[in-house]
Structure 1
Amino acid sequence: MTLGSMDDFDDMRASEARLRALIDTGPGFVWRTGADGGVDFLNQRWYDYTGMTPAEAHGFGWARAVHPDDADGLSRYWIGLLQSNQPGQYEARLRRFDGAYRWFLIRATPKLDQAGRVTHWYGGNTDIDDQKRGELLLAGEKRVLEMMATGRALPEILGELCTVVEGALGGCASGIVLAPSRRGHAVTETTCISHTLPEALIARGMRSVLDPAGCPLAAAALAGDQVVVDDLSAESRWPGWATVVRANGFCAAIATPVASSQGKVLGVLIILYRQIHAPTGNEQALIAQFSHMASIAIERALNDVALNQIRSDMAHVARVATLGALTASIAHEVNQPLSGIITNANTCQRMLGASPPNIDGARETTQRIVRDGYRAADVIKRLRALFAKKPLATERIDINDTTREVVTLLLGELQRQGIGVFPMYADDVPQVTGDRVQLQQVILNLVLNATDALQTVTDRARQVRVRTWQDINGVHLAVEDNGTGFDPADAAQLFDAFYTTKDAGMGIGLSVSRYIMESLEGQLRASLNETHGATFTLTLPIAAPV
């Protein structure tokens, strides 16, 4: 080798060293693979970030650094890229040497020979974690707000919020402890919602929450202030709880009270980090934002519960208000079997007093007494079920049988008023799902409204028709009268609370009825008949197959 060529070689080596230094000290990861996709070069940044050795990362070993939730998607994308010979890019999370994950944009470009065949793939990974977490945060907040707006269940909303928390903060698991209530100085009746906290940890944590000195959740709930534990190994206030948490792989904790708009503590947002961690100012701002969203969701749910209780009370009031109108029917229904009992008891006495006693006849008469006793008891049972105040019970309902019971209950009163009832029940009507008592209340209210509409009718036979049928829209029940109908101008207000066209009406019957139907995922609508009167029609979805 000549002196000149040696100088050229030294220059080339120096240039290569400068290039290698540039590649190793650049802000991103640089890599190269063979045509088969197996890695044969990674820059030093990669090794510093992942903590892997060249031997561990060689070939396809690098894939162990990919987040488990992203691994399958990245693998499929990479295989498709190798088959297409086209450049591409993919977003995935890569594990840092300390176990934390960050988002990277992974770009790959093929190097082709003169024949157009791939000889190598060259790529670079750019850290996009801050940008990605910001995008995920906005998308997650939007999902949570949409769930609130559409009335999703509170556990679903808070579970999704925990997912947003973990995505935004990274390296953590979270949960929301609901509704701690104060009794003296104790915290009781707790429930934890979380997708990622271990079950054993939740169970131990819930037991600890019952003790004010048991864990930071209790301290945060009782004091109304955030509790931050940067390093659980150095924590002495809650040794039992800290030991369990550390045994489950967590090293730091933040417990933030979730407060209502009036300052009442509704729960606690607990965040557990897998590494020793002190929250930054930006993280604290995010935690405050998440706590506020949780308070909105919880307050909304509590308000819905209170509103439903008010509606339930109104429904009960509406049922009780019909007692006066049903007095004659109730007396008639109970009087029939009681009269039978008295008659049969007198007959039985005569048979037993005969000489010789008519034992067989007396036995048959006592059987009739028992039958009538059961009939009277059944009437009372139905009335108690209809007018008692008790929790809702969802069940499969035969709408024909349910309607028959109501019509039977009202029959005596309708006959007393000279109103003809014409039931027409379609055969093979499928079952619906709901609370039987609530559905009977709606039917009862519609029939009573029909009788009220007939009170001033004197120029034609007064009639109420009750019919059922089904079509593609569900199961229908219509109550039709030939009474006075209603003013078309009132149609839009018929179902408004406290709106009534009756002199003695309270204006809650139709409002409660529509609420009940909507709670059963059904509909209630009113229409004027072509000649006289009006028709009220309820529609319910067909019950799902068993």
Structure 2
Amino acid sequence: MRIYRTRSDPGLPDDSIQSLFEDERGRVWVSGFRGLAVFENGRFTAVPAVPAGIVHAIASDHHGGLWLSMWVTAADYGLVHLVGGKIVEQAPWKNLGGGPGTGLAPDLDGGVRTGLFNGGMAYFRAGQIRNLPLHDSRGRTGRLLELAGDRDGSLWAAAENGLSRIQNGRVATLTTANGLPCDAVHWIIQDDRSSYWLYTRCGLLRIARDELDAWETDSKRMVRVTTFDTADGIRPVATLKGFRPGVTKASDGKIWFLNGETVSVIDPSRVGINTLPPPVHIERIAADGRTYSSTQSLRLPPHVRNLVIEYTALSLTAPDKVRFRFQLEGQDPDLREVVNHREVQYSNLAPGNYRFRVTASNDSGVWNETGDATEFTIAPAYYQTVWFRALLAAAAMGLLWAGYQFRVRQLERESKQLRDVIETIPAMAWTARPDGSNEFVNRRWAEYTGLSAEQTAGGGWTAAIHPDDRVAYSELWRASLASGKPLEAEGRFRRSANGEYRWFLARGVPLRDQHGKILRWYGSLTDIEDRKRVEEERERLRQLEADLAHINRVSMMGELAASIAHEVNQPLAGIVSNGSASLRWLTGDTPNVEEVREALHDIVRDGKRAGDVIARIRALTKRSSPPREKLDLNETIGEVLAIVGDEARKNSMVIRTQFADDLSPVSGDRVQLQQVLLNLIMNAMEAMSTVRDRARQLTIVARNVVPGEVQVTVQDAGAGLDPNTMGRIFDAFYTTKTGGMGMGLSISRSIVENHGGRLWATANEGPGTSFHFTLPKYPGEN
């Protein structure tokens, strides 16, 4: 024996050899991490085209070239095609579906199949890639560990999830469900005696070819397997690593393979087959610790909690390799398989008839298909008998029937209660179909309108509506039907007893299904006659109050008639004077046009002044008030002072104003607020008319107060009010004047309160009285 090393054989790439391969010309290819070499004519020759890296597998392309499965190379080489010492094509593993590769199977068409460590297989030919996932019967994909071709042209794929056979595009996978002792298969090789050898995680297996052919025809068939394990010198491993290939067959038919970390050889021609099936026998049955013989038609007592069945099979060659398959019919859905285990335990079996059947195989996988069987019965307890269950079922049916009857009566009572409520509520209730035709009315409707359910059905209910309201009411009802929005309408309905029409509020809401479709309308009619009369009375009182306020304003205008006449006469006198002067200037020998122009400007000014006075008086004497608007109280007070200014001067009164420059605007009715100011100013002037010993001074203050209000104060220097009567001055028809009506302050307080403010009076620290009122700031103002 000669040992080759790099120091003595420079063509050898490395002393640590990874893979070996002998091609059809007898050349031996050797790979190490530093490269690839070929051994021919007694010496090694390096192949410089192949880069350094790991070579997992080497295979011939059947045309004089090689396929290499590489990993961890500088150029990210994966699957490499070597022809004439040169790389002619290659594909990285990321394009092939993930590496590294785990086996190579070239075909005669120039393509190659490679296993993928992350699962499945890839086919590479002329730059094209096609992937083939490999699944077991449960849809699992395992890592593919090795590929091997068969003599008939099919391909074997050894993977973690079983052994797959690929032929004519069809894939069948052999697993533990078919008799393998474990799923993970490292490699497969065929011997010269029509058997296959599989190296698995649980040992070395031998399967006859006719067994695999029969399994391929029926994928659910169980195959006979001969297992060689540690007792036979086999060292099962979880992952096969190290040198490649992991197995090879010599020319003498012996199979050499990696056995753990050693190399072993097996001669299939000298491995015999035990053709004698082992006899099988069920020894005994134990129920809750009590032993019974395995006789036919055994009857066990009720309440069996723990049942043990012992069985055995005779094998003198390898008793520890006997395999058993058993099934308890009525409990186990399928056959269960165990190795060298001779009893089975069941818990809490239900009463009934059972049949236990067991078969066994020897160490060569030869099965005794007849096996042994026994039958037994577990008696039911009284509550497990058919008659007891029938009694319970009858009782349950009786309870269900009683519950059903109880529920029916309960629903009838609730229905009657609901109908009683609908019939007796102090309103008329109704339902209508989706098209608006009447479906139901309660008894109160019939009593009030005199229309029966038949007369009301469809659209007959409209006969009860006042003729003047019928069209408007019907249009609202049609609009609700069209839009699906709730109905709310008012109308007069005729009472049949005396022919009287009373106001009713009609409300209706739709009932919808889960898709929003209207199924029915529900509604009611509520008598609002009394509310209508109250509203009419309230409107009448409001109108009366407005009339009184108008009378009050006109009355004040009467009191100010002389001042108003003076205010109007002044600009009129100026107009006459300027007009006369203009005529003189125009009739002179030389018309003075410039003087005429200035006089005409004065005439226009005086005309506007007279017009402004008349406009303010007209606004105060109008019966109707303008809508509320945004007001500047400083400006509003100034307009009132323009009216009373002459009256104040005639009575030697001084009016002082203190207006805040940043006074917030308010929302109000200009005429009504001017009326309040005019009332307070006139009262103040009258209160000072008898003052002789001090100045007659009237002070008006407008300022912002918190929170969010504007306050106006009218302060006089008169004689003041009697403290005993101060609380009554705002009452209607109460007055301290000899000719007064007693309505001015009452109307003023109503106006202020309607504006959201308040009006009150206080005594001054000195002489006189102060009247104050507040108003809210205009919305949105800070």
Q: Could you say whether these structures have the same fold, taking a TM-score greater than 0.5 normalized by the shorter chain as the test? A: yes
Q: Among 380, 386, 389, which residue is 1:9 paired with? A: 389
Give the SS at the match of 2:615.
helix
Aligned residue pair count: 361
Could you say what secondary structure the match of 1:498 adopts? Answer: coil
* Residue 447 (1) aligns with residue 672 (2): no
After superposition, the C-alpha distances for 1:65-118 in whole angstroms (9 at most, x for unaligned) are xxxxxxxxxxxxxxxxxxxxxxxxxxxxxxxxxxxxx9xxxxxxxxxxxxxxxx
Matched, 1:296 2:296: no
Tell me which residue corresponds to 1:541.
776
In structure 1, the residue corresponding to 2:724 is in which secondary structure?
helix
User: 1:171, 1:273 within 8 Å by CA — same for their partners in 2?
Assistant: no
* Structure with more helix by fraction: 1
- Residue aligning to 2:700: 466
**Aligned counterpart for 2:398 among listed residues 7, 11, 18:** 18
CA contact (8 A) 1:337 1:376 kept: yes
Asked whether the equivalents of residues 508 and 524 of structure 2 are also in contact (C-alpha less than 8 Å), the reply is no
Per-residue deviation at 1:351? Answer: 2.9
Residue 434 of structure 1 pairs with residue 668 of structure 2: yes
Indicate the SS of the match to 1:339: helix
1:206-355 alignment runs, 5 A limit: 227=451, 230=454, 231-233=456-458, 235=460, 248=481, 257=493, 265=501, 267-270=503-506, 290-291=526-527, 294-355=528-589
Paired residue secondary structure (1:322): helix
| Letter of the structure 2 residue corresponding to residue 318 of structure 1 | N
Residue 398 of structure 1 corresponds to which residue in structure 2?
632
**Contact kept? 2:713, 2:772, Cα under 8 Å:** yes
**Following the alignment from structure 1 to structure 2, what is the Cα–Cα distance between the partners of residues 21 and 373?**
101
SS of 2:458's partner is helix
Match of 2:647 in 1: 413
CA contact (8 A) 1:258 1:267 kept: no
In 2, distance between residues paired with 1:511 and 1:326? 21
Is the 1:462–1:482 contact (alpha carbons within 8 Å) kept by the matching residues of 2? yes
The letter of the residue matching 2:743 is I
Q: What SS does structure 2 have at the residue aligned with 1:27?
A: helix
In 2, Cα distance between equivalents of 1:524 and 1:132: 55
1:62-101 equivalence runs, <5 A:
none
1:479-534 Cα offsets, whole Å, 9 max, x none, are 10111111100011110111111111111111111111111111110011111010
| Residue in 2 that maps onto 1:521 | 756
State the identity as a percent.
32
Distance 1:371 1:441 in 2: 27
Matched-pair contact (CA < 8 Å) for 1:256–1:270: no
Q: Matched residue of 1:381: which SS?
A: helix
User: Please, which moves more after superposition, 360-369 or 455-464?
Assistant: 360-369
Partner AA of 1:513 in structure 2: S
Corresponding position of 2:727: 492
Tell me the distance in 1 between the aligned counterparts of 2:540 and 2:499: 19
Change (3 A) 1:272 1:422: closer
Q: Which amino acid aligns with 1:7?
A: W
The one-letter code sitting in structure 2 at the alignment partner of 1:233 is G
> SS at the partner of 2:693?
coil
Q: Does 1:369 align with 2:603?
A: yes
Unmatched runs of 5 consecutive residues or more in structure 2: 1-351, 353-378, 437-444, 465-469, 485-489, 512-522
> What secondary structure sits across from 1:233 in the alignment?
coil
Whole-Å Cα distance in 2 between the matches of residues 397 and 171 of structure 1?
52
The Cα shift of 1:369 comes to 1.7
CA-CA distance at 1:539 after TM superposition: 0.7
Q: AA paired with 1:333?
A: E
Aligned equivalents of 1:319 and 1:518: distance in 2?
Answer: 18
Q: Give the root-mean-square deviation of aligned CA atoms.
A: 4.4
Query: Residue 475 of structure 1 aligns with which residue?
Result: 710
Partner deviation per Cα, 1:446-473 (whole Å, 9 max, x = no partner): 0111111112211111111111111114
Match of 1:381 in 2: 615
C-alpha distance in 2, partners of 1:388/1:236? Answer: 48
1:263-285 CA distance string (max 9 Å, x none): 9745244477989xxxxxxxxxx
Tell me the amino acid that sits aligned with residue 487 of structure 1.
D
- What is aligned with 1:80? none
| Structure having greater relative contact order (Cα 8 Å, sep ≥ 6) | 1
How far 1:422 moved relative to its partner?
0.9
Measured after TM superposition, the shift of residue 336 of structure 1 is 2.1
Q: Residue type of the partner of 1:398?
A: D
Aligned to 1:108: none
Contact 1:266 1:298 in 2 (8 A): no
2:203 is aligned to none
Q: Are the structure 2 counterparts of residues 406 and 370 from structure 1 closer, same or farther at C-alpha, using a change threshold of 3 Å?
A: same
Displacement after TM superposition at 1:365 (Å): 2.8
Offset from partner CA, 1:225-281 (integer Å, 9 cap, x none)? 56555543384986998998699499xxx987489xx99745244477989xxxxxx
Instruction: Specify whether residues 227 and 415 from structure 1 end up closer, same or farther in structure 2 by C-alpha distance, changes over 3 A only.
Output: farther
The unaligned stretches of length 5 or more in structure 1 are 30-44, 50-101, 103-125, 139-163, 174-196, 202-219, 276-285
Q: SS state of the match for residue 368, structure 1?
A: helix
- The one-letter amino acid of 1:378's match is D
Q: Normalised by the size of structure 2, how large is the TM-score?
A: 0.41
Say if 1:228 and 1:255, in contact at 8 Å, map to a contact too.
Answer: no
Q: Report the residue type matching 1:464 in the other structure.
A: L
1:226–1:413 CA distance, 2 compared to 1 (3 A): farther
The match for 2:374 is none
Distance between the aligned counterparts of 1:272 and 1:470, measured in 2? 49
- Aligned equivalents of 2:405, 2:631: Cα separation in 1: 73
Relative distance call for 1:9 and 1:132 in structure 2 (3 A) is same
User: Which residue of the partner structure matches residue 41 of structure 2?
Assistant: none
Is 1:258–1:268's contact at 8 Å kept on the other side of the alignment? no
- Report if the CA contact (8 A) 2:492-2:502 is conserved: no
* More strand, by proportion: 2
Q: What CA distance in whole angstroms lies between the structure 1 residues aligned with 2:603 and 2:702?
A: 36
Q: Whose radius of gyration is greater, 1 or 2?
A: 2
Asked whether the equivalents of residues 227 and 255 of structure 1 are also in contact (C-alpha less than 8 Å), the reply is: no
Other structure's SS at 1:267 match: strand
Q: d(CA) in 1 for partners of 2:582 and 2:474?
A: 80
Shift of 1:424: 1.4
Assess, with a 3 A threshold, how the Cα gap between structure 1 residues 452 and 273 changes in structure 2: closer, same or farther. Answer: closer
Tell me the amino acid that sits aligned with residue 409 of structure 1: I
Distance of aligned partners of 1:383 and 1:227 in 2 relative to their CA distance in 1, 3 Å threshold: farther
Q: Is the 8 A contact 2:764 2:770 kept in 1?
A: yes
Offset, 1:390? 1.6
Distance (whole Å) between structure 2 residues aligned to residue 228 and residue 545 of structure 1: 57
Structure 1 residues 537 and 133: CA distance shift in structure 2, 3 A:
farther
Q: TM-score, normalised by structure 1?
A: 0.57
**Aligned partners of 1:383 and 1:542: how far apart in 2?**
27
Superposed CA deviations along residues 172-197 of structure 1, whole A, max 9, x for unmatched, are 79xxxxxxxxxxxxxxxxxxxxxxx9
Q: Distance in 2 between matches of 1:355 and 1:466?
A: 55
